[in-house]
């Protein structure tokens, strides 16, 4: 009798343990499932004197008219940059961009996103994707014409749905 009771108690646990995870959605489905806003933004570079990495929070210094902007990813691999309710200039309107994810779902490319990112096109590595958050890292090379040098800035942005 004790074995029957034990079996009845253990069987439901086995079924729960074997249940598949709900995180089987592709990154494309995840991106299209809502509106994304940047919740954090850090940038790093090498200090020209010490050659040590310097990291600073560029996102918290942005004005409110930029901080309320958002991204919406559409099914046809286009997207909309919404400039939110606070405008930096009166001429701001929603702008369209194009996007794609690599076949291994480890990289994302965004084209025509200069209204949201510091460059026209972003080719980013996807660092994490879970619980409505997407963390990406990408590089921007800047030129200093006065000193004939180049600097590589590495951006790490956290987007949330």
**pLDDT higher than 60, residue 8:** no
Residue-wise pLDDT tens digits, 57-88: 999 999 888 899 999 999 999 999 998 888 88
Q: pLDDT category, 107, cuts 50, 70, 90?
A: very high
How deeply is 160 buried, as exposed, middle or buried, from its count of CB atoms within 10 A (0-12, 13-18, 19+)?
A: middle
Average pLDDT estimate for 148-156: 87
Q: pLDDT category, 27, cuts 50, 70, 90?
A: very high
Q: Where are the domains of the chain?
A: 22-160
Tally of residues, the chain: 161
* Helix or strand holding residue 114 (H, E): none
3-state secondary structure of 76: coil
Of 61-75, 113-127, 133-147, where does mean pLDDT reach its minimum? 133-147
CA-closest candidate to residue 78, choices 117, 52, 111 = 111
What pLDDT does residue 46 have? Answer: 87
**pLDDT higher than 90, residue 19:** no
Query: What tokens appear for 23 in the block?
Result: 């995180």
3-state secondary structure of 106: coil
Average pLDDT estimate for 142-156: 83
Q: Which segments of the chain does DSSP mark as H helices, in order?
A: 2-18, 27-32, 64-67
Return the CATH number of the domain spanning residue range 22-160.
2.40.128
């Amino acid at each position: 009798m004790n074995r029957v009771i034990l079996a009845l108690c253990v069987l439901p646990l086995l079924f729960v343990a074997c249940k598949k995870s709900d995180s089987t959605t592709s990154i494309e489905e995840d991106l299209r499932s809502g509106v994304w806003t940047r919740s954090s933004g850090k940038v790093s570079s090498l200090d020209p004197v010490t050659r040590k990495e310097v990291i600073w929070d560029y996102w918290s210094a942005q004005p409110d008219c930029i901080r309320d902007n958002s991204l919406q990813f559409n099914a046809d691999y286009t997207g909309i940059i919404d400039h939110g309710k606070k405008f930096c200039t009166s001429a701001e309107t929603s702008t369209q961009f194009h996007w794609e994810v690599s076949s291994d779902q480890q990289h994302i490319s965004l084209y025509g996103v200069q209204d949201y990112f510091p460059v026209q096109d972003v080719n980013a590595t996807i660092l994490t994707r879970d619980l409505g958050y997407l963390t990406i890292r990408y590089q921007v090379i800047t030129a200093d014409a006065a000193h004939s040098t180049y600097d590589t800035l590495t951006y790490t942005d956290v987007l949330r749905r």
